């Protein structure tokens, strides 16, 4: 199954938004649930390490290919970018 999540805002709000988006994902295959739980925990930890007034951008995506019930490949992308300077 393929999925993607993105959010931009102050760190505490992004944590809530990402959690909400994870909760809204359709039921994931059992083979992907543990992976997504680990990503969620990792992202929460990284964002918690930011200054609460910091703006962060989060881009997450995943894709898992199954052949029958066997996983043949898993792709995961996790990008958390603190944004401290704005033009203008």
pTM of the model: 0.83
Residue 48 CB contacts under 8 Å (≥ 6 apart), including other chains: 11, 15
Please give the pLDDT value at position 17: 96
Which residues lie closer than 8 Å to 21 by C-beta, 6 or more apart? Answer: 5, 7
State the pLDDT at residue 2. Answer: 87
Distance CA 32, CA 71 (A): 9
* Residues 27-80: tens digit of each pLDDT: 888 888 888 899 999 999 999 999 888 899 999 999 888 888 788 888 999 999
More confident residue, 52 or 86: 52
């Amino acid at each position: 199954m393929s999925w993607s999540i993105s959010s931009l805002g102050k760190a505490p709000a992004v944590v809530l938004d990402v959690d909400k988006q994870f909760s809204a994902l359709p039921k994931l295959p059992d083979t992907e649930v543990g992976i997504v739980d680990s990503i969620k925990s990792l992202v929460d930890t990284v964002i918690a390490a930011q200054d609460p007034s910091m703006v962060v951008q989060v881009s997450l995506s995943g894709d898992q290919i199954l052949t029958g019930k066997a996983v043949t490949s898993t792709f995961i992308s996790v990008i958390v970018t603190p944004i401290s300077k704005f033009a203008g």
